[in-house]
Chains A and B, each alone.
Chain A
Amino acid sequence: MALFSRKRTVHSMTIREKRDFHAFVGFTAPTFILLGIFILWPIFYSFYLSLFKWNMISPKKTFLGFQNYQDMFGDPVFWLVVKNTLLMAFFTVIVKMAISLYLATQLNKKVKGSSVYRAIIFSPTFTANVAIAMVWAWIFEPTFGLLRVVLKPLGFPMIDWIHSTSHSLPAVIIVLIWSGIGYDMVLFLAALKNISLEIYDAALVDGANTYQIFWRITFPLVSPTTFFLLITGFINVLKAFDIVRIMTEGGPLNSSNVVVHFLYQNAFQWFRTGYASALALILFVFIMFITLIQNRLSKRWVHY
């Protein structure tokens, strides 16, 4: 067959190439056109808008140059928002991954009913953030909230999570951890299943204890997954909006405000389109930066 087709290519190469070219263009065009309009073009347009003062209604845009960026970098609220976003990303990702790796090792022991455990722990991954935020706001209610049932016997005072500048961000982080554990756990579990049992057996024969086995075998061998989850998890939290919007609206006093929510407020509540576009661009640059680091590091660090 190979011979047959090779003989014919001499003759019909250009026709075939042409046909392939047309098919390729036709097949990929919808995707590329859509990506071009709704993903690529917006980057340039955001940059353009970030140079103006514009309220979206008025036909007039006032050119400001880089004033929006100057205002942003001089705005303490911006820095608070950046700090909140990074804190949220850091704590959410670290805690969520630690818990989910631990749960994955437990699930990997294949006890009876593990598929039921897995299914329930994974379920928040697929449930609407809006509904999740609603029920958690109710759980955090200081007087009648479910959380008080747990915290009261432990000697905690009544905490008004949502109305406290020190507790609103942790409240959001708790919800993000809760809703993210399942996803990480399933990926860790997949990674654990790829580790051959012989390695464990060998370690057991050598007299290694559980602790040593975890740190010397399991942890290094799941490192590609760890790295993947670390980066994607971090980026996902940088983009968080729904839960913040519903639970705290970024308040009180911006104590739980994060970049995308702040962007939303500026663009669609206070109609500062230029400033919001500048924010969007900073977010873009930052995420691209992390992605680049990921590409660099994943080649070196991780143990594929």
Chain B
Amino acid sequence: MKKKRVGVVLAIVMVLCLSTGLWAAGQVEQAKPEGPIKIIYWRSLTGVAGEAQEEIVKRFNASRSDIIVESQFQGAYAEILQKLQAGLAAGDVPDLVLLDSPHLQIFAKEGVLVNLDAFVAKEPKNFLQDYIPGLLADSYYSKNLYALPALRSTPLLYINEDMLAEAGLPRRAPATWDEFREYCKKLTKVNANGEPIQYGVGFTMGATTAHWYFQGAVYAFDGKISDENFGVHLTEAPAVAAAKLWQDMVFKDKSAVPSTSHDDLFNKKVAMVFGSTGSMGNVMNRATFKVLPAFIPGQVRNGVPVGGAVIAMPSTDKWRQWAAWEFMKFFTGTDSQAYLAEKTGYMPNSTSASKHPDLVKYYAANPHWKVAIDQLQFVQPQASVISLPKGTEILRQMVEKLLIANMDVNTVMAETKADLEKEYNENFK
């Protein structure tokens, strides 16, 4: 009997310990740090782009004894958006977050990001002048600065160079969308049964990326998806022409295929994919063939939507804000940016970084990588509608309607325009 009682007591003690232990483990995050200020940075991106961010964090932590940055991977940009909204609802936000640039508007509007003007005011006068204006432009919300450009990118075309040679094409990228279409036809192969075994291009259907490449095409046709006042221009000739071209390539030429990941390029299922400049490191690492990174084709003109991420500050504590600002400066500073550009293919965000001796040397040795900077001259902000809560989803569905459901182009564009306007009126205005 006694033994049993001991057993019961032990069991109860164990349960109590376990539950308090659990409690404590859950609470640890909230504890206020003593000594060095510990701040949390939520990052996105995996692979090389992820590792390079970790390296920057490591360098920063090594250089400072008063601040410790802990970086936490949060998934793709769309997930960061989701996690940050969740964190806000729970009153548990990081000090710094890497945001897909259009998402900045949503959070700045809700008043959850720290206005950085006061921090800039304490810096030397020309502090902001080094940043490339095209990359700084979308860090503002109603004329206040809320972010700094961190990992800025543009869409690129990644081409399997071996396939170009095999198809008897010149070893250069197509300059216009018309030429692109011809390339794709020549790069498409079918087997004896008439089944396609290789396509010219894979059009990305990714939840957060589908719209981006399409924006590039619309810019090339000298149009736009929407303006700053959220007027939607999808039913106008340039957007319709771009949509028609993509749809015809999938359904008439059968030289293009909807695709979800770059695996299709690595698997040699497609000869070309669209991707971010920021994917360059990964693409180059994983491909078993020669890859030619190139501009998005032009048509009437050249133009690419700037993408990638800005770093913003949801921190709520004064001292942590100070520490967060220190890290922001470091992350967006010349040395870090030169390193990030070299490792990942993201564009250096400042004039000084693009002239950084390491980077200049690196580009001389790897001319392909320079395409990221060269494309800077064509950079334009993204369509405003991307900032709507459901904006990217509506545009993704548009691409799906065009390239999967093969619906009539004019109908699709009119529907999408209506959906976007409704979303704006109901959930943003």
Contacts and interface: CB of A to CB of B under 8 A. Distances in A.
Q: Do chains A and B touch in the complex (CB under 8 A)?
A: yes
B88 A57 contact: yes
Nearest to A58: B110
Given A56-B85, A57-B88, A164 B390 contact: no
Nearest to B393: A270
B89 interface: yes
Contact of B404 (A143, A144, A252, A271): A252
Contacts of A162: 260
A253 B110 contact: no
A60 to B, nearest CB: 11
A165 interface: yes
B92 interface: no
Interface in B321-344: none
Interface string B181-202: 0000000000000011100000
Interface string A242-274: 000000010111000000000000001111100
Given A163-B404, A253-B397, A269 B260 contact: no
B188 to A, nearest CB: 14
Q: Which secondary structure characterizes the binding site on chain A?
A: loop
Contacts, number: 55
A224 B42 CA distance: 53
Given A58-B110, A251-B400, A157 B195 contact: yes
Interface string B391-427: 0010001001100110000000000000000000001
A164 B404 contact: yes
Contacts of A251: 205, 400
Interface residues of A, number: 22
Contacts of B89: 56-57
B389 interface: yes
Listed residue (A158, A165, A253) with the most chain B CB atoms within 10 angstroms of its CB: A253
Interface in A213-250: 249
B260 A158 contact: no
B224 to A, nearest CB: 24
Interface string B365-384: 00000000000000000000
A158 B193 CA distance: 11
A165 B404 contact: yes
A9 to B, nearest CB: 28
Interface in B221-262: 257-258, 260
B405 A163 contact: no
Given A158-B195, A252-B400, A253-B397, A163 B205 contact: yes
A252 B205 contact: yes
Interface in A171-196: none
B82 interface: yes
A101 to B, nearest CB: 37
Given A163-B260, A268-B86, A252 B267 contact: no
A144 B207 contact: no
B196 A158 contact: yes
B38 interface: no
A143 B405 contact: no
Interface in B140-198: 195-197
B85 A160 contact: no
Given A160-B257, A160-B258, A162-B260, A252 B405 contact: yes
Contacts of A271: 85, 389
B269 interface: yes
A158 B397 CA distance: 24
B180 to A, nearest CB: 21
A136 B86 CA distance: 30
Nearest to B87: A57
Interface in B81-123: 82, 85-86, 88-89, 110, 112
A143 B78 CA distance: 28
B245 to A, nearest CB: 19
A165 B85 contact: no
Nearest to B198: A143
Contacts of A253: 397, 400-401, 404-405
A55 B85 CA distance: 9
B263 to A, nearest CB: 9
Given A165-B405, A270-B389, A249 B257 contact: no
Given A143-B267, A158-B195, A252-B404, A268 B258 contact: no
Contacts of A269: 78, 82, 393
Given A57-B110, A158-B196, A270 B390 contact: yes
A269 B85 CA distance: 9
Contacts of B401: 253
A160 B78 CA distance: 25
Contacts of A270: 389-390, 393
Contacts of B400: 251-253
Given A160-B257, A163-B258, 5 more contacts: A162-B260, A252-B205, A253-B401, A253-B405, A269-B393
Interface of A: 55-58, 143-144, 157-158, 160, 162-165, 249, 251-253, 268-272
What are the nearest 7 A-B pairs in CB distance?
Answer: A252-B400, A56-B89, A57-B88, A163-B258, A252-B404, A253-B400, A270-B390
14 contacts: A57-B85, A58-B110, A143-B269, A157-B195, A158-B195, A158-B196, A160-B257, A162-B260, A163-B260, A252-B205, A253-B405, A268-B82, A269-B82, A272-B427
